[in-house]
A and B are shown apart, each in its own frame.
Chain A
Amino acid sequence: MSNGIPGPRSLEIDCSAEVDRISQWMVDAVGQQLHRRGAVLGLSGGVDSSVCAALAVRALGEKKVFGLLMPEIDSSSTSASLGGRVAEQLGIEHRLEDIAPALRAIGCYRERDAAIRAVFPDYREDWKSKIAIAGGPKGGVNFFRMIVQSPSGEMFDKRLPIREYLQIVAATNYKQRVRKTVEYFHADRLNYAVIGTPNRLEYEQGFFVKNGDGAADIKLIAHLYKTQVYALARHLGLPDEVCTAAPTTDTYSLPQGQDEFYFSLPYQQMDLALWSHNHRVAAADLAQALGVETEQAEHIYADIEAKQRTTRYLHLQALLVEPVFVRTPE
């Protein structure tokens, strides 16, 4: 299997044509298929949601797009303000919904901190934390480390046992699910569709929360690699901070890149690796493109496949005992 050495040109797209294609598709999808009057989306200040907002405005016009800024206590101080700037620039109506009180009431922080304290008994609410992935691209089994920082700046780092890992992730998943609940409130109120904003790296490797950020009526950039989303951001004239920001999870209190939490590789390399995997490029050719040994490229392919297997259920609808066809009226 080989298609030659991949490179940055492998991911080049005609931005103008792509914007037109997505816009035309969206007009039909929202109006003719979903029968909604516009679209709602959460704005994190990141490149994915900003590009989706700009695409929606191109397709539907600024009067038919509604943006939500939904920070909580672990959000970066710039996420809501940058999201607001994007909304202002696009001229769309938007609203700030602080979701921290809802998360506190439902137990998000309490359940998360209880699991962290099982690993670090000294951990308190004023400490900071994050999770880092390890193992996969080096040929091992993926596992997760918890990193915590005391108020005096001391750092501690331990591998997470599975029960605590699952509880921390389950608790933080409340954030994406509460945001989606807010989005659907406004979508129902306005009779709008909800836009999901995963890019291809996230969509294909299952980096989203089922019924959280994975839930939507329409996904505009799930077919685009991250490099291509950045290219569209520049083409659409989004603010410089959006076009140059490194992808973060914006979910944990310590700064955390998406590569550190999940992908294991910076997005430029992850794009090339996933593109190569999809185009059946030989591991040796991917290795040359990334400047690594062939064995490591093989580990990267194996890691992609392991993530796809582990997260397959995220993409599935509820399973039925037998097919049930809903007869649509003529």
Chain B
Amino acid sequence: MSDIKEQVRAYIVENFVMGSTKFVLNDTDSFMDKHVVDSTGFLELVTFIEDSWSLTVEDEEMVPENLDSLANIEAFVNRKLSALPQAA
């Protein structure tokens, strides 16, 4: 499931830093501390996550612990996916 991080990284690089090759984002870097994702950016990121993995991010889940690094997002998405009912 490590491609979750790669998909989010690719989305951020393409949309938030306009594909800049100088930009380095480590797995545990805080998007806020790196000034790469602002308040509007987090809402865009939530829509990307919901669309990419067909899940719903609840209001109370809109917290930095779930969204503020590649590693946090991967753990959050994995938790959400494992909580979904298994397809028959």
Contact = CB atoms under 8 A, between A and B. Distances in A.
A309 interface: yes
A162 B57 CA distance: 13
Contacts of A163: 47
B38 A310 contact: yes
Interface in A159-203: 159, 161-163, 165-166
Contact of B62 (A141, A166, A309): A141
A165 B38 contact: no
A141 B59 contact: no
A162 B44 contact: yes
Contacts of B46: 141, 143, 162
Nearest to B61: A140
A306 B59 contact: no
What does DSSP make chain B's interface, helix, strand, loop or mixed? helix
Interface residues of B, number: 16
B64 A141 contact: yes
B78 to A, nearest CB: 20
A306 B44 contact: no
Contact of B59 (A159, A162, A166, A307): A159
Q: Which of A141, A309, A310 has the most CB of B within 10 A?
A: A141
Nearest to B60: A140
Contacts of A165: 43
Contacts of B55: none
Contacts of B35: 309
Interface string A132-149: 001110011111100000
Contacts of B63: 139-141
B70 interface: no
Interface in B32-88: 32, 35, 38-40, 42-44, 46-47, 59-60, 62-64, 67
Interface in B14-47: 32, 35, 38-40, 42-44, 46-47
Contacts of B44: 162
A29 to B, nearest CB: 33
B43 A162 contact: yes
Given A135-B62, A159-B59, A306-B32, A141 B39 contact: yes
Interface string A275-291: 00000000000000000
Contacts of B59: 134-135, 143, 159
Contacts of B43: 141, 143-144, 162, 165
B39 A307 contact: yes
Contacts of B47: 161-163
Q: Which of B32, B38, B39, B40 has the most CB of A within 10 A?
A: B39
A319 to B, nearest CB: 14
B40 A162 contact: yes
B39 A306 contact: yes
Contacts of B42: 141-142
Contacts of B38: 306, 309-310
Interface in A105-143: 134-136, 139-143
Nearest to B68: A141
25 contacts: A135-B59, A140-B62, A140-B63, A141-B42, A141-B63, A141-B67, A143-B43, A143-B46, A143-B59, A144-B43, A161-B47, A162-B40, A162-B44, A162-B46, A163-B47, A165-B43, A166-B40, A306-B32, A306-B38, A306-B39, A307-B39, A309-B35, A309-B38, A310-B38, A310-B40
Given A141-B42, A141-B63, 13 more contacts: A134-B59, A140-B60, A140-B63, A140-B64, A141-B39, A141-B43, A141-B46, A141-B62, A141-B64, A142-B39, A142-B42, A166-B40, A307-B39
Interface of B: 32, 35, 38-40, 42-44, 46-47, 59-60, 62-64, 67
